[in-house]
Amino acid sequence: MEISLRELAKLLDGKVVGDGDVLITGVAGIKEARPGDITFLANPRYETYTRTTKASAVIVDQNHGSVDKPLIQNSNPYYAFLKAVKVFHGEQEDVLSGIHETAVIGERVKLGENVSLGPYTVIRDGVEIGDGCVVKAGSYIGSRSRLGRQVLIYPNVTVREDSILGDRVIIHSGTVVGSDGFGYAKDGGAYHKIPQVGNVVIEDDVEIGSNVAIDRATIGTTLIKKGVKIDNLVQIAHNVRIGENSIIIAQVGISGSTEIGSDVVLAGQAGLVGHIKIGDNARVGSQAGVTKSVPANTSVSGYPAQPHSLSKRLHASLQRLPDLIKRVRNLEKKLEELGEKSGK
Amino acid sequence: MEISLRELAKLLDGKVVGDGDVLITGVAGIKEARPGDITFLANPRYETYTRTTKASAVIVDQNHGSVDKPLIQNSNPYYAFLKAVKVFHGEQEDVLSGIHETAVIGERVKLGENVSLGPYTVIRDGVEIGDGCVVKAGSYIGSRSRLGRQVLIYPNVTVREDSILGDRVIIHSGTVVGSDGFGYAKDGGAYHKIPQVGNVVIEDDVEIGSNVAIDRATIGTTLIKKGVKIDNLVQIAHNVRIGENSIIIAQVGISGSTEIGSDVVLAGQAGLVGHIKIGDNARVGSQAGVTKSVPANTSVSGYPAQPHSLSKRLHASLQRLPDLIKRVRNLEKKLEELGEKSGK
Amino acid sequence: MEISLRELAKLLDGKVVGDGDVLITGVAGIKEARPGDITFLANPRYETYTRTTKASAVIVDQNHGSVDKPLIQNSNPYYAFLKAVKVFHGEQEDVLSGIHETAVIGERVKLGENVSLGPYTVIRDGVEIGDGCVVKAGSYIGSRSRLGRQVLIYPNVTVREDSILGDRVIIHSGTVVGSDGFGYAKDGGAYHKIPQVGNVVIEDDVEIGSNVAIDRATIGTTLIKKGVKIDNLVQIAHNVRIGENSIIIAQVGISGSTEIGSDVVLAGQAGLVGHIKIGDNARVGSQAGVTKSVPANTSVSGYPAQPHSLSKRLHASLQRLPDLIKRVRNLEKKLEELGEKSGK
């Protein structure tokens, strides 16, 4: 495929600066781009690469005109680039269509229009699946679960009974939705299982990565609100609630009944104890161990997690500690000498 | 369903305090309860909620009579509540019965009474499955593995060859039991795989969460003893041994050949190096990095893990370090002045 | 099985020291061995066990002759032991042969000689599978993926479209190769998915554990080079590159576009931010949080990761901090007294 920068700019709602006749044949990251590619600059840290990139053109924001290349200006260069990727690559997915003859479909199942069920899918009794949903090979949808419209379930996913998924939810392979919460009552030295009779509700436009575990509520609902994006290998315990458009990076663990606000970012491998609240727009650093609630609009890091600026100051202080020990020893020596002098 | 508090108390082996005629229609947590619900008070931290809960009755311990509500007293309020949950909710599971026509069953397989095998299950040669076992859709039981009685395997579980599971073991979706241990011999700059010829033994009443990985022993047995409860996304390496009734919270990692005693708690995301021992009743804090053996009845935290009281003291000291640096600078200045005075 | 030490030594390319007629009937670790077993000594830390082991013979390195047992000397005792394990145990795997009648094979699929496909495997359109490959029950190979020769895929693995696997690759159960990278563009307060149009390439002799997640590249390739060994529950994000013979221990997380050199060791639960480089032969300690690039041949640990020797010194200093605080208070008191004396 080959398209002029001018035509491409129209498709991306962008404005050309420089030669609109240059031909674009592909898309690439700023460091990997070769002649013919268009790339983008979103993060100012990558500005220096605009001088060395081999790309034929760059997507920049509308205030940016100093790059010595043909440009497309757009108020969101990253999102415009996303559109460019679609122009060149389209959808490359394994396409499924229709109900495979091996799909095992229970009783009282309602299937919408244009539903696709892959080989060896199992749809249990009372399930409802909305228009345009795709459930790929080997996936399991438990009894009475409901999928909205255009839900995409990759191969080998398990959705346990009574789960409710909104529209356009995407779940990647190996993920388990609705497994039992981890709850036991100790009695006579042994643990007895607490029945986990709640469910999981996942709202519209949520995407969940691979090998994630989301437990059903003990009673009530484990709730993932609209637009939340969850990376791979994340643990979400029973009765957790996650607010709209929050981002949960890989290998994060959230303990039972903790509430995450909206627009929160939990960076990779962070761990949160149970029964706390993370306020809206808060940010939890990677590997942070959060042991108490975090106010809205704040940033925490470290273990136990503290305000990020404090964590940084303590870390900087710690670097000076070995020297400080020497200085204190030196002071003690001098003081002793002084004491001896002045004492005698 | 509707039942009087008096009748419910009999089912829970409890004693009514107050109006035994009040009608109970459901169960709920103390904060979520509505009129008609019964709730419970186990953790004294929740005591204040007994004044605000909308529940019609509360299960409390036998020394507790001051709540202004009808009560059921029982020596273990949490466990009594568990029984109440069962009274109102029963079992809501996807019920399986019988051998699905698509189950692939190998040669020399022995099935007990009332075994259920879901769609697309695969049972390899020489497997033995005890009375009342349920293996759900898409799960795999490798050659020569043995399941005791009333084992419950959720969908899409993999149990590799030669695994031995006791009675009433529960394994949640996505979990892998018996994958090869991580063992290589370096020779000529490259790694050569050590054959992993041991197995995994899981004793009675063990429950294992979703997407857990339990490796088979290199030689011998990876052993999970009676009553152990394992949360989601836990890593258990080859030749690990876990003692009775220990609790392993989500995302913990246990390296090869480490031995965990009985009644141990490993909190979330803790990591343990290989070839160490964790004594009985020990407690490892969340995210702790345990680099050496931990004596029985002790509590460790931090990285590298230290006695918890020491970790806390060091953490508290660290908060004072920036100020301490200033104080030392101040001392140095004063001492210099004093030195100048006394020196001259 | 029973074999003389002399005959066994020939099979292991080793040299007998002591009685070559002793009969060997099995293999075991140095602590677990019983009479009749052969064991090995690779790690000098285990030297004391050579005096207490019940093994009938020990494999040692060629400079080692002081053990009071019959020996086999070999330049790599661990690798020689690996060969001994094979002599006694052979392969115990579930053996698959041929294409199971339930395998769903798409259009334009090319299968080599002696390919085995287990029950309920799904092979999508355009896939190529080389000679001697084994794909076990319930596994999925996405469209256009290519497997080299003698690849071994355990049950319930998902390999997404366009993945390329070299020769002798082993992938354990529950693992997902080629799920979408975690990439979104924020626009109008919500996140929009960036199409992930790259793929995953896994070179020869790579082994990948259970429940691992390896994301496809946004554009280009997520690359795992020859001989890399990956343990269970590891997260490898989009566009990561891992050099030859590197070792990634359980629960490590590697963020997007980070490059790992060759012969690197990432210890358990370490986390690496995106867009950094880990030099050849570097070692990242367990639970380390790596926030910037690590030079070749260095060792880092802690959070944020620092040179390991520095981390250790800081940790040792920290132990002295509570005492240091007291000493500074003491100095202040003395100085005040001195000041009072000299001032007056």
Tens of pLDDT, residue by residue over C164-191, are 999 999 999 999 999 999 998 877 778 8
Percentage of the residues of chain A whose pLDDT score is greater than 70: 97
Residue B77 — pLDDT band, cuts 50, 70, 90? confident
| pTM of the full structure | 0.87
Q: SS3 sequence, C80-144?
A: HHHHHHHHHHCCCCCCCCCECCCCEECCCCEECCCCEECCCCEECCCCEECCCCEECCCCEECCC
In degrees, to the nearest 5, what angle opens at C-alpha C316 toward C-alphas C314 and C321? 85
Q: How confident is the model at residue B48 (pLDDT cuts 50, 70, 90)?
A: confident
Structure tokens at A314: 């303590």
The C-alpha atoms of residue A196 and residue A193 are separated, in whole angstroms, by: 9
Region C99-123: what's the mean pLDDT? Answer: 95
Catalytic residue among B238, B275, B308, B315: B238
Give the strand order in the sheet containing A176-179: A104-105, A122-123, A140-141, A158-159, A176-179, A213-215, A235-236, A253-254, A271-272, A289-290
Using the 8-state DSSP alphabet, how is residue C216 labeled?
A: P
Confidence of residue A78 (pLDDT cuts 50, 70, 90): confident
**Residue from B191, B280, B206, B281 nearest B236 by CA:** B206
Helix (H, G, I), strand (E, B) or coil at A337: helix
Q: What is the DSSP letter of B308?
A: H
Report yes or no: B57 and B25 within 8 Å, Cβ to Cβ. Answer: no
SS3 C265: strand
| pLDDT at position C43 over 80 | no
Distance from CA of A283 to the nearest CA of C (A): 16
Q: Do C195 and A79 touch (CB under 8 A)?
A: no
Q: Where are the alpha helices (DSSP H) in B41-134?
A: 49-52, 77-89
Q: Find, in chain B, the residue whose alpha carbon is nearest to that of C226.
A: B190
Instruction: Give the one of B215, B273, B327 whose C-beta lies nearest to C328's C-beta.
Output: B327
| pLDDT class of B16 with cuts at 50, 70, 90 | very high
- CATH class, domain B3-89, is alpha beta
Q: How far apart are CA A205 and CA A246, in angstroms?
A: 12
Does residue A80 sit in helix, strand or coil? helix
How far is C118 from chain B, CA to nearest CA, in Å?
10
Residue C326, C-beta contacts closer than 8 angstroms, at least 6 positions apart = none
Q: Is C89:B195 a contact under the CB 8 Å cutoff?
A: yes
A122 contact partners, CB below 8 Å, separation of at least 6: A103, A104, A139, A140, A141, B118, B119, B120, B137, B138, B155
Average pLDDT, chain B: 92
Question: CA-CA distances (angstroms) from residue B7 to A118, B10, B173, C163, C274?
Answer: 50, 5, 37, 62, 60
Is residue C95's pLDDT more than 70? no
| Positions of CATH 2.160.10.10 in chain C | 104-308
User: What does the CA dihedral C236, C242, C248, C251 come to, rounded to 10 degrees?
Assistant: -10
Selection from B143, B144, B93 nearest residue B118 by Cα: B93
The stretch B4-20 carries a mean pLDDT of 94
Is the pLDDT at A86 greater than 80, yes or no? Answer: no
* Facing A156 at nearest CB: one of B93, B156, B205: B156
pLDDT tops 80 at residue C341: no
Contact C39, C30 (CB under 8 A): yes
Considering only B83-97, B244-258, C216-230, which range has the smallest mean pLDDT? B83-97
Mutation test of the interface with chain C: which of B186, B303, B337, choosing the one with the most C Cβ atoms within 10 A?
B303
Is A269 close to C269, i.e. CB distance below 8 A? yes
Give chain C's mean pLDDT.
92
Given A238, A275, A308, A315, which residue is catalytic? A238
Residue A140 has its nearest CB partner, among B76, B155, B251, at B155
Say if residue B90's pLDDT is above 80: no
> What confidence score (pLDDT) does residue C66 get?
72
Q: Is residue A59 scored above 80 in pLDDT? A: yes
Report, as an integer, the average pLDDT of A71-78: 87
Yes or no, beta carbons of B320 and C315 under 8 Å apart: no
Question: Model confidence at C68, in pLDDT bands (50, 70, 90)?
Answer: confident
Per-residue pLDDT at B342 exceeds 70: no
Q: Which structure tokens are listed for C152?
A: 């071994």
Tell me whether residues A325 and C328 touch, CB distance under 8 A.
no
Secondary structure percentages of chain B, helix, strand, coil, to 5? 20, 30, 55
C250 pLDDT above the threshold of 60: yes
- Answer yes or no: are the C-beta atoms of A122 and C138 closer than 8 Å: no
pLDDT surpassing 90 at residue A97: no
Percent of chain B residues topping a pLDDT of 70 = 97
Q: Tokens at residue C327, please?
A: 């000493």
| Chain C residues touching residue B186 (CB < 8 angstroms) | 76, 78-79
C151: left (phi over 0), alpha (psi -120 to 50) or beta: beta
* A-interface mutation test, from B207, B287, B300, most A Cβ less than 10 A away: B287
Predicted local distance difference test score (pLDDT) of residue B63: 81
Summarize the confidence of residues B5-9 as an average pLDDT.
96
- How many Å lie between the alpha carbon of B327 and the closest alpha carbon of chain A? 10
What's the token pair of residue C298? 């260095």
Phi, psi of C87 (to 5 degrees): -60, -45
Distance (Å, rounded) from C-alpha C264 to C-alpha A299?
32
Other CB atoms within a 10 A radius of the CB of residue B66 amount to 10
Of B209, B245, B315, the CB nearest to A191: B245
Q: What is the dihedral of CA C88, C90, C92, C97, to 10 degrees?
A: -160
Report the pLDDT averaged over residues B14-38: 92
Q: How many CB atoms lie within 10 A of CB B204?
A: 17
All residues at 6 or more sequence positions from B29 whose CB lies less than 8 Å from its CB, including other chains: A218, A219, A220, B39
Report DSSP letters for A172-234, one per residue: -TT-EEEEPP--EEEETTEEEEPP---EEEE-TT-EE-TT-EEEPPSSSEEEE-TT-EE-TT-
At a CB cut-off of 8 Å and minimum separation 6, what does A329 contact? none
Q: What would you report as the CA-atom Rg of chain B, rounded to the nearest whole angstrom?
A: 27
* Interface mutation vs chain B, best among C287, C311, C312, most B CBs within 10 Å: C287
Q: Which two tokens stand for residue C162?
A: 């366009």
By residue count, chain C amounts to 344
pLDDT of residue A93: 55
User: Is pLDDT above 70 for C344?
Assistant: no
Q: Which residues from C are below 8 Å from B218, CB to CB?
A: 29
The pLDDT value given to residue A329: 96
In chain B, how many H helices and how many E strands? Answer: 5, 39
Please report which confidence band the pLDDT of residue C46 belongs to, taking 50, 70 and 90 as the band edges. Answer: confident
**pLDDT at position A283:** 98
Task: Look at strands A128-129 and A110-111 and give their pairing.
Answer: parallel
Q: What is the ipTM of this complex?
A: 0.86
pLDDT for C132 equals 87
Residue C342 confidence (pLDDT)? 64
Angle in degrees, CA C303, C304, C305, rounded to 5: 85
Are B260 and B239 within 8 A, CB to CB? Answer: no
By C-alpha distance, which of A84, A80, A53, A81 is closest to A68?
A53
Span A268-306, pLDDT tens digits: 999 999 999 999 999 999 999 999 999 999 999 999 999
Closest CA to B293 of B270, B259, B246: B259
Residue from the list B140, B190, B334 with its beta carbon closest to the beta carbon of C155? B140
pLDDT per residue over B287-300, tens digit each? 999 999 999 999 99
CA B325 – CA B330 distance, rounded (Å): 9
Cross-chain residue pair B94–A237, CB shorter than 8 Å:
no
Which fold, B104-308? UDP N-Acetylglucosamine Acyltransferase; domain 1 (2.160.10)
Count of CB pairs separated by less than 8 Å, B with C: 196
Asked if the Cβ–Cβ distance from A287 to B286 is below 8 Å, we say no
| Weakest-pLDDT range from A125-129, B128-132, C86-90 | C86-90
User: Tokens 């690359």 map to which residue?
Assistant: C223
Chain A residues closer than 8 Å to C161 by CB? 92-94
Q: What is the mean pLDDT of residues A127-148?
A: 95
pLDDT tens-digit readout, C261-270: 999 999 999 9
Give residue A109's pLDDT: 97
Q: How confident is the model at residue A221 (pLDDT cuts 50, 70, 90)?
A: very high
Terminal-to-terminal C-alpha distance of chain C? 94
Contact list in B for residue C339 (CB cut-off 8 A) is: 334, 338
Does the distance separating the beta carbons of B338 and C338 come in below 8 Å? yes
> Measuring CA to CA, which residue among C157, C164, C159 is closest to residue C178?
C159
CB A9 within 8 A of CB A16: yes
A16 — alpha (psi -120 to 50), left (phi > 0) or beta? beta
Active site residue B238: yes
* Least confident window among B79-93, B288-302, C102-116, C161-175: B79-93
**What confidence tier does A343 reach under pLDDT thresholds 50, 70, 90?**
low
